[in-house]
Structure 1
Amino acid sequence: MQSQDVAPRPAVPSAADSVVDVEQAEAALVEHYPRLVRLAYLVLPPGLGRNRRVLTAHALTQRALPRGRKSTPVIPAQATGREGDPGYAFVRLQVVRTALEAGLPLSLRAWPKRAQLPPLLPQVWGLKLFPRSGGADELALDQRLSALDGPARAAYVLRGLEKLPDGDVRKVLTAAGVADVDAALAKAEKVGAQQYGLLDSPEFDPCSLQARPTDLMRRRQHLKAALVAGAALVVCGALLGLPGEGWAPDGAAAPSYAQNPAAQAALDPSRVVKVAPAAWQSASRTDFSVWPARGELTGDRALLRRALAVWARPGEQVRVSVTPGTPSGGPAGPPQLLYAGTVDNARVVILYDGLRIARYAEPKDGTAGAAMDFARVDGATGAEASAVVLGRADGNVRYLMAPWVKKTAERDLLKPGSGAMALTLTDGTTSPLASPAAQQSSCTSWNVLQVTDGSGTQLLSDLGELVPARLTAGKPGAVEDASGAAGTRTWAPYACSLSAVRAQGVRTVNVWEFARQPLPDASGSAAWVCTRAETWRGGGTRVLAQFHTPGSPYGAVAAKAENVPACGPRDPQVLAGVLWKAKGGDWYLLAAGGPDTASIRAVGGVNGSAGTNLLTARTEQGAQAELKGMLRDGRGISGLQ
């Protein structure tokens, strides 16, 4: 339960509580390990390379435990579970200190610090590990952070990731040994606070990794050289001279020594499946398997070969992005070609293997800077198989549409009465439309794609992935497309909350107004709405309960949960509450459940009960309460947290 206009956070604990022992620090490290490793990864100098940064970040975090009882200044982490925890404050300080030491240049006048040397553990032989690649915004932020020195990077990360105020950032940096804290804060300020949200991106998550082989050629050369130097030269020369192998034919792909016939057949451009243009008209299903091959480069075998080779073994310089739950390995057999052509300043190939959409893009003037994107689409039919992203440029997105789509349009979800603006369709390709995925801090519009086919009209929203998410409205189990007047009006105050599920592999997002509650100061009725994002992998769902008062342009998130059945077809029940301040200054606990909720009870800091699905109880600012509900069938229900 969250509150609007709540009181400030509690005061920082006193220094008397700041003694840390090994057990306390270990508990904090284990509980918050992913966050601490992300912190170390972001502070470490990018010049180390992504693989060494990952291993070093894990090594520094694992070495952050004290050797006995330590005293440390308590600096709050500004988040539940870490705030005021001296154990977390200690290990975070150790991580920041050693990450800054790792960025110091080696000197002949002094022994190197342990953090300056490559980590002994952990080590992974034969593989390179690196985080999932993000989008252009994450790349731009990474480049800007790489231009900063270590203390400035640490200041930016402590501000943006840890949400620390400048006073606490100063304490951490000073304790970590930074000489000029003011200069570090000033440099960090130039990066911009509007990009803080990107620090939580998978681009900077060293606990969610992709694996690629190290330089197979070099490994083989070294092994042969250790045994017989002359024989090694002969073997490596023969491998380099094999026709049809190496770097040139496969562009940005890594070298291949595989001789598996099935794998070779899957990468043969002459075996790529091309569906007839009219096949979808007689097919029993409307899915990606009946899309025809489009684009002016469908006959470019060299381009298709490069795309297939990069799919199977992307080189070190290829930017690979994978939606959560999507395997990134090569195709099991010859895939289906959906598109090959020029989009803006790139050559683009889109392929489908029955489970995934794979999009390969390379510059017009070469293969340097190639990119490979994957998205899971198994079981997609109808509206879910209606659009694939062709390209993004200048904040706009361009789609390739299914052959059964008759019309496309762009509309602003925040302005349901403004109507839709038609988009042109040329060989299944739309004209560019503004993408909400490019928005960072402000949310003044949320443009969605409106698609009309033989079954009706649907709304699709770009969430930064290859396939847009379908938007629906209504009670779970009886949802409808949100393209109607009622659906767009329901979505309007909550469209900006879609930013919370970007790059999560989202398949559909449903909005449901489960209750409407009269406000105690007679200023109107507030709407209680539940939004539920379903993913292609089944798990990873995200549920938000939002509270919208009259006259407010946006809904406020009252509660949220992940991987729960609430608000879904399996269990449509939901219960949430919020602290609300009336115009006269009085504070109230407002709570609501779905239509099947028979009673609600609040315990803890607020005591109150109601024999309906709505609860109103007078309280004080900052009060905390636990909600319990009873359904009409006698089953109990707890409030979303």
Structure 2
Amino acid sequence: MDERTRADVERAEAAIVEHYPRLVRLTYLVLPPSLGRHRRVLTAHGLVQRALPRTRLRRPDGGLPAQRGPAPESGYDLVRQRALRLALAYEGQPGRGLPVLPLVWGLRLFPRAGGADELALDQALSAVPAAVRAALGLGHLEGLDEDAARTVLARAGAEDPDAAQRAATQLDRETGAGAAALLSSGEFDPCMVQTRPTDLLRRRQRVRAASAVAAVLTLGAAVAGAWPAAPDPAGRVETAAQQALNPDRLLRTPNEQWADTSRVDFTAWPTRGRQAGDRKLLARALRVWAAPPPDARITAAAGTSTRPPGHPPQLLYAGLIDNVMVVVLHDGERLVRYAEPEDATPTLHFARVDNADLPGAAALVIGRGNGWMRYLLAPWISEITTRDLLTPDAPPHGLHVAPDGVTDRIPVPPPAGTGCGHWPVARLRTSTRIVTAGPNTPFLVADLDDLVPVHLTAGPPPSAVPAGAPGEAADPPALRSWTRTACSLGELRGAGVRSVNTWEFARQQLPEDGGSATWMCTRADTWRGPGRVTLGFLPPAARPADPGRTAGRAVNTAACSRFGPHVVGATHWQAKSGKWYLLAAGSQEVGGLDATGGVRATAGEGTLATPAAADTPAEVVGRLRSGGSVRALRRP
């Protein structure tokens, strides 16, 4: 046996094992979207596994030693070329069958659905040939330059690699600079999939048919004197799964229960909407939730399960919203919005809402369009107005609400990568019938592309006690504190965020009469628990909405919350003279600061400023008045 050929195959096998997710992602991208997500997932895995070359039993030259020549291509290059060749062969052959392996029975596999940006890119990719998708993947996923990508395409059998590369470059310009990040997201990752059952009713019918034949044969062979006949089928008890899919068993809360309960959350919402009695619509919504068809669009906030209902859920709404039939269900810990557009595939949107409080259950997004959305308000919301966080002194705008709680259209924040000229939010006022809410308490919510809006709060100034205790962001000082941090909310889209608090933890006089700077800590808490923190350094600015700069970040941290009220930030800053300084500041309980590393300095108070070049590394630690220390959050 040819040992060199065996070594080539062994290298190829090692490359498949080592880079399997990378190869499957590239193959999935090249396969035709018309296959459907389930078939694309299985086909991508099957083609990569078939990309392993076979071992030849003899030398093709009759056994003479191989001549010296160019070094053989690496194992990875070989299997990538073979996988691409196999994937390109599916172009124009929608009826082509699946590979023999892997075999999945009774389940549908889907990559995790992304947001609006991923959907737009997926639609753009479905409109171009496979060779163009391959060129885009070789550039963004494989990191190849145009010449190398053309070479790989030619070896993989693409008809016109030059045209494919030009089309991929044009598509890249049209979809924006974020295409590389989007292709690396879960939307295009067939190795991280969600599972759903196939059509359970049809599968059950087939099993029952086979069981019925077996039962007839068994009964025909039974001897006389056996037990009497089985009970009447009409008296059978529904299983839990059957109850969960029965629209007649949906839970419906009485209209006025919200005003006389100690649990003011989604369980207190009454059933609303003109189609709340449409049994066929409700049955379709439950069936799609339990077993989504292959072309269904599924979106879930981070950390939210998309499992089928385990018991009859609560019906919150069923009606027509902008020519789309919408059903909203609540199973105790999740909201599920089912949307049924005309002549289009259904969509499901999941959001985690366990332990929701009064502000967290005040509204949900009932409809969404190009540049706008609508809220469905809780019954305890007596008034809604809108305003722009970037113009805190402008008066709010009133908003009409239909009798069923659906608002007029509300502008949405600008999409990522388009600037931040405005940031609309909604100001909600509670009914006086809710005793626990106080005297008609107003609060702010913002849409971040999830099903439930985010509750915005604001911390007190540095002199307040206790430090960092959040309050509502509805009064003028709180609104002004949000002006320069509002645009950073765009980073939290689709992350399952429950509330965001911005807190001015320190003020600092800048060197060389540079004016007064503000140190802000913005904390985002998610429905699943962990939070993320961003420190902002806000020097004097020519424009009121100038976002300043990011001085530090942390995830899965208690910083800037009531469980972590001590915080220190540090950054480099350039004075008008051109001289650079290391600046640092701590929250109220920080009584001193120490800088080490490339610069050494100390301060006996909560702020520090010392000359330091822009690229000088430094570690800053704050000394607490009560003893102990706190390290500055790291800069990104």
Mapped partners of 1:386, 1:416: distance in 2:
23
Question: How does 1:17-416 map onto structure 2 within 5 Å?
Answer: 41-42=28-29, 46-47=33-34, 49-51=36-38, 53-54=40-41, 100-105=84-89, 126-149=106-129, 152-153=132-133, 156=136, 169-170=145-146, 173=149, 176=152, 179-180=161-162, 183-184=166-167, 186-193=169-176, 195-196=178-179, 198-199=182-183, 201-206=185-190, 208-214=192-198, 261-363=239-341, 365=342, 368-416=344-392
From 481, 497, 520, the equivalent of 1:506 is 497
Instruction: Report the CA distance between 1:353 and its aligned residue.
Output: 1.9
Helix, strand or coil at the partner of 2:287: helix
Instruction: Report the CA distance between 1:549 and its aligned residue.
Output: 1.8
Mapped partners of 1:558, 1:58: distance in 2:
43
Helix, strand or coil at the partner of 2:270: coil
Instruction: Report the CA distance between 1:61 and its aligned residue.
Output: 9.1
Q: How far does the alpha carbon of each residue in 1:386-422 deviate from its partner, in whole angstroms, 9 at most, with x for none?
A: 1011100221110111111111011111111112111
- The one-letter code of the counterpart of 1:441 is T
Going from structure 1 to structure 2, the CA distance change for 1:336 and 1:493 (only over 3 Å counts) comes to: same
Is there any run of 5+ residues in structure 1 with no aligned partner, and where? 1-21, 66-89, 108-115, 236-257
Going from structure 1 to structure 2, the CA distance change for 1:404 and 1:42 (only over 3 Å counts) comes to: same
* In the alignment, structure 1 residue 535 sits paired with structure 2 residue 532: no
* In the alignment, structure 1 residue 638 sits paired with structure 2 residue 631: yes
Mapped partners of 1:133, 1:443: distance in 2:
26
From 575, 583, 593, the equivalent of 1:600 is 593
Helix, strand or coil at the partner of 2:273: coil
Mapped partners of 2:281, 2:51: distance in 1:
49
Task: Give the TM-score of the pair, scaled to structure 1.
Answer: 0.75
Going from structure 1 to structure 2, the CA distance change for 1:616 and 1:158 (only over 3 Å counts) comes to: farther
- The one-letter code of the counterpart of 1:443 is C
- The one-letter code of the counterpart of 2:579 is D
How many residue pairs match? The answer is 553
Q: How far does the alpha carbon of each residue in 1:319-355 deviate from its partner, in whole angstroms, 9 at most, with x for none?
A: 1212222222233332222111110011111111221
Determine if contact 2:139/2:146 at 8 Å carries over to the other structure. no
Determine if contact 1:152/1:187 at 8 Å carries over to the other structure. no
1:460 corresponds in structure 2 to 445
Mapped partners of 1:509, 1:286: distance in 2:
21
Mapped partners of 2:536, 2:114: distance in 1:
29
2:58 corresponds in structure 1 to none
Going from structure 1 to structure 2, the CA distance change for 1:214 and 1:306 (only over 3 Å counts) comes to: closer
Determine if contact 1:40/1:95 at 8 Å carries over to the other structure. no
Mapped partners of 2:152, 2:510: distance in 1:
50
Helix, strand or coil at the partner of 1:417: coil
Going from structure 1 to structure 2, the CA distance change for 1:337 and 1:91 (only over 3 Å counts) comes to: farther
Determine if contact 1:437/1:462 at 8 Å carries over to the other structure. no
Mapped partners of 2:326, 2:176: distance in 1:
34
Determine if contact 1:96/1:154 at 8 Å carries over to the other structure. no
Going from structure 1 to structure 2, the CA distance change for 1:215 and 1:331 (only over 3 Å counts) comes to: closer
Instruction: Report the CA distance between 1:317 and its aligned residue.
Output: 2.2
1:430 corresponds in structure 2 to 407
* In the alignment, structure 1 residue 447 sits paired with structure 2 residue 419: no
Going from structure 1 to structure 2, the CA distance change for 1:56 and 1:310 (only over 3 Å counts) comes to: closer
- The one-letter code of the counterpart of 1:513 is E
* In the alignment, structure 1 residue 612 sits paired with structure 2 residue 605: yes
1:78 corresponds in structure 2 to none
1:250 corresponds in structure 2 to none
Greater relative CO (CA pairs within 8 A, separation 6+): 1
Instruction: Report the CA distance between 1:124 and its aligned residue.
Output: 5.2
Going from structure 1 to structure 2, the CA distance change for 1:270 and 1:51 (only over 3 Å counts) comes to: closer
Instruction: Report the CA distance between 1:42 and its aligned residue.
Output: 4.5
Mapped partners of 1:39, 1:544: distance in 2:
34
Helix, strand or coil at the partner of 1:383: coil
* In the alignment, structure 1 residue 578 sits paired with structure 2 residue 571: yes
Determine if contact 1:388/1:401 at 8 Å carries over to the other structure. yes
Determine if contact 1:29/1:36 at 8 Å carries over to the other structure. no
Is there any run of 5+ residues in structure 2 with no aligned partner, and where? 1-10, 53-73, 155-160, 218-235, 432-436, 461-466
Instruction: Report the CA distance between 1:567 and its aligned residue.
Output: 1.4
Q: How far does the alpha carbon of each residue in 1:593-617 deviate from its partner, in whole angstroms, 9 at most, with x for none?
A: 2222233333333433333332323
Task: Give the TM-score of the pair, scaled to structure 2.
Answer: 0.76
From 462, 466, 473, the equivalent of 1:482 is 473
Helix, strand or coil at the partner of 1:430: coil
Greater Cα offset, 273-282 or 200-209? 200-209
Instruction: Report the CA distance between 1:632 and its aligned residue.
Output: 2.5
Q: How far does the alpha carbon of each residue in 1:399-449 deviate from its partner, in whole angstroms, 9 at most, with x for none?
A: 111111111011111111112111011111111100127454321111111
Instruction: Report the CA distance between 1:216 and its aligned residue.
Output: 6.3
Helix, strand or coil at the partner of 1:543: strand
2:551 corresponds in structure 1 to 558
Mapped partners of 2:266, 2:204: distance in 1:
41
Going from structure 1 to structure 2, the CA distance change for 1:394 and 1:418 (only over 3 Å counts) comes to: same
Instruction: Report the CA distance between 1:536 and its aligned residue.
Output: 0.8
Instruction: Report the CA distance between 1:277 and its aligned residue.
Output: 1.7
Mapped partners of 1:296, 1:151: distance in 2:
49
- The one-letter code of the counterpart of 2:534 is L
Determine if contact 1:133/1:320 at 8 Å carries over to the other structure. yes
Q: How far does the alpha carbon of each residue in 1:231-279 deviate from its partner, in whole angstroms, 9 at most, with x for none?
A: 69x99xxxxxxxxxxxxxxxxxxxxxx9952222222222222222222
Instruction: Report the CA distance between 1:488 and its aligned residue.
Output: 0.9
Determine if contact 1:144/1:191 at 8 Å carries over to the other structure. no
Give the structure with higher Rg (CA): 2
Q: How far does the alpha carbon of each residue in 1:157-187 deviate from its partner, in whole angstroms, 9 at most, with x for none?
A: 677789x8xxx74366367456538625532
Mapped partners of 2:148, 2:626: distance in 1:
54
Mapped partners of 1:55, 1:583: distance in 2:
60
Determine if contact 2:468/2:560 at 8 Å carries over to the other structure. no
* In the alignment, structure 1 residue 418 sits paired with structure 2 residue 411: no
* In the alignment, structure 1 residue 545 sits paired with structure 2 residue 545: no
1:515 corresponds in structure 2 to 506
Determine if contact 2:535/2:550 at 8 Å carries over to the other structure. yes
Determine if contact 1:93/1:175 at 8 Å carries over to the other structure. no
